[in-house]
Structure 1
């Protein structure tokens, strides 16, 4: 038995449409034109931005909506767009970083500090990271990453002025999407591999000591994915206070875009009101045939994919980290503004 969602949310989950013709931006000729454009501007471009103060860093767990939100912010293609530079093994400068690397704010080891500075100040150039860039000349840069959550406080303290937008989405929505995607992506990118967190002693000492036994004992994929989701979110939520970074709740942006766009625009110091229709467009990395193309709300689709025992197992772990203040066993977030619980989670 799947958990019951609120009526107004459940209505969204039950809407199904016949598969439609792919939108213009997903048709082969248009995508071929995009690829040609990116081939040029991903290699030959001018980054006229200054230091990290000209950088917007959109971060969050994989499958949490980071690409969708990054493309919305960059809807005019007026930023140099850097795509997942920390995703192994594409960028040599980050080859020694773990997937889910943690850095204490005082970490000064140049093996970690130097590539981070090069990235956030725009000095890094890499064919993979720049392959989606469509701006031949840009005075601002937008970096989108899904393996950076545990690096945020280091960046905030050591490179002041970088604007950080962190995306958070319901744990079960993320878990279901990652489990669907894991078999078809290279390099085990969506395998939970909880040992990678336990092997980082600083991370264990600072945040994970009460959870070591549970992480090591997690035997099902749902449990392992739940720990992954908790770790990548609890660390920044405990490290930051409201206003230091901006938190975007995927569900709030999906269901109440006007309010969330206003908040995001205020943080970035820009006007995004005229671009709200862009939120209807799936991201470039969303597979055609996914929830939106089938007429299903991606904020609620997971409720039809997990049974009650899986929900209980995941939410037990979420509760152990104190993150049940944010999400429960239905799709709707429990708070209107997630930043209100920053630094207060257990």
Structure 2
């Protein structure tokens, strides 16, 4: 079995790594968001014609040597001087990175655009990246917190919040008022909700709509013919209605119980798998972060939610 596994990995590497990454006209795109928020799915929509070189989770230091020396989910203040991290990011954004992990889903041999980078571990340094690399096109994807928590639980994701508590500057700048809540969280579900709150709180607090494109997973599911052209316009890439077919196809990271494979509703299937007790435990957490108003009672993003949140976030 080990030999077969090694052969499969070698074949995947050969298939994904045979490409030329040249400087081409067009944007380098960073697609960020919480895990299980639909970032892999949306990356397939953006790269529907495979015109980008697709770089998968390069900030995962356990898999990518370029970032192995850095803390997982690093927080950097926007004005912070971090020359080594900046050097590594520059290598990434210029395409000087190769490997089985970052290239595993790349299919383009000669990209006609630059790069599409999908990352769930860069959320706490987006403002820093925006300052250091203003040419980046940053898309920040948000999904209903209950849907994210449910998906993480079903996929067996770690629920630890230690990566938040272990970063003094992150706590000092953004999460200090919620330290007691982070320490006292007694269930994995509560910790999943806290992870979601921390990620979205920091991003929305630091960045405005004029700096990044704030996108909602639910909007792309229910209004793809409107929302996808808006996204493509921001990215400066042509839109073709054929891209709509990609919205009904599962991403490479989907499992057999994902809603898109089981035929469940993509927006509210989480309701069938979330108890009343879990909802009651989550609500005070969302309220404490001021994020309870981001979604309405139907579980959909509110009208102009990001702009309102950036005004009222504590």
Q: Normalized against structure 2, the TM-score is what? A: 0.91
Unaligned ranges ≥5, structure 1: 1-33, 183-189
Counterpart for residue 250 of structure 1: 217
Tell me by how many angstroms 1:102 deviates: 0.7
- Whether 2:147 is the aligned partner of 1:180: answer no
Aligned to 1:130: 103
Residue 80 in structure 1 maps to residue 53 in structure 2:
yes
Alignment of 1:84-103 (within 5 A): 84-103=57-76
Aligned counterpart, 2:196: 229
Q: How does 1:1-346 map onto structure 2 within 5 Å?
A: 39-49=13-23, 54-138=27-111, 139-182=113-156, 190-274=157-241, 275-328=243-296, 330-333=298-301, 335-344=302-311, 345-346=313-314
Aligned-pair Cα RMSD in Å: 2.1
Measured in 1, the distance between the counterparts of 2:231 and 2:56 equals: 20
| Alpha-carbon distance between aligned partners in 2 of 1:271 and 1:321, rounded to the nearest angstrom | 38
Match of 2:3 in 1: none
- Which segment is superposed worse, 300-309 or 170-179? 300-309
- Note the alpha carbon deviations across 1:183-232, whole angstroms, 9 max, x for none: xxxxxxx2122121111111011101111111111111111111100001
Kindly state the Cα deviation for residue 36 of structure 1 after the two structures are TM-superposed. Answer: 9.0
Q: Give the superposition deviation at 1:124.
A: 2.1
Q: CA deviation at 1:127?
A: 2.5
User: How far apart are residue 110 of structure 1 and its match?
Assistant: 2.7
Unaligned runs of 5+ in 2: 1-7
1:297/1:215 CA distance change after superposition, 3 Å: same
2: CA distance, partners of 1:35 / 1:199:
34
SS at match of 1:82: strand
Which whole-Å CA distance do the structure 1 matches of 2:35 and 2:226 have between them? Answer: 24
2:294 touches 2:309 (CA, 8 Å); kept in 1? Answer: no
CA distance in 2, matches of 1:128, 1:238: 31
Give the deviation of 1:170 after TM superposition: 0.4
